[in-house]
Protein backbone atom coordinates (compact mmCIF):
# COMPACT_ATOMS: atom_id res chain seq x y z
CA UNK A 1 0.00 0.00 0.00
CA UNK A 2 1.25 3.47 -0.90
CA UNK A 3 2.10 5.84 1.97
CA UNK A 4 -0.76 8.40 2.05
CA UNK A 5 1.74 11.14 2.96
CA UNK A 6 3.31 10.81 -0.51
CA UNK A 7 0.50 13.00 -1.89
CA UNK A 8 -1.20 16.21 -0.73
CA UNK A 9 -4.64 14.60 -1.11
CA UNK A 10 -3.59 11.58 0.97
CA UNK A 11 -2.18 13.91 3.63
CA UNK A 12 -5.42 15.93 3.87
CA UNK A 13 -7.62 12.80 3.97
CA UNK A 14 -5.35 11.33 6.69
CA UNK A 15 -5.66 14.56 8.68
CA UNK A 16 -9.46 14.53 8.42
CA UNK A 17 -9.63 10.88 9.52
CA UNK A 18 -7.27 11.57 12.43
CA UNK A 19 -9.47 14.53 13.45
CA UNK A 20 -12.54 12.26 13.56
CA UNK A 21 -10.69 9.53 15.49
CA UNK A 22 -9.34 11.99 18.09
CA UNK A 23 -12.75 13.66 18.45
CA UNK A 24 -14.38 10.26 19.10
CA UNK A 25 -11.65 9.39 21.64
CA UNK A 26 -12.29 12.71 23.42
CA UNK A 27 -16.06 12.31 23.41
CA UNK A 28 -16.36 8.62 24.24
CA UNK A 29 -13.35 8.01 26.50
CA UNK A 30 -11.85 11.17 28.00
CA UNK A 31 -15.16 12.99 28.53
CA UNK A 32 -17.25 9.85 29.15
CA UNK A 33 -19.10 10.19 32.43
CA UNK A 34 -18.21 13.87 32.91
The contact set with another protein (CB under 8 A) reads: 3, 5-6, 8, 11-12, 14-16, 18-19, 22-23, 26, 30-31, 34
- Burial class, 27, CB count within 10 angstroms (exposed 0-12 / middle 13-18 / buried 19+): exposed
Q: How far is the CB of 1 from another protein (least distance, A)?
A: 15
1 vs 31, beta carbon nearer another protein: 31
Minimum Å gap between C-beta 9 and another protein is 11
| Per-residue three-class SS string for the chain | CCCHHHCHHHHHHHHHHHHHHHHHHHHHHHCCCC
Amino acid sequence: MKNPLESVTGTIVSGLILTLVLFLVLKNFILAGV
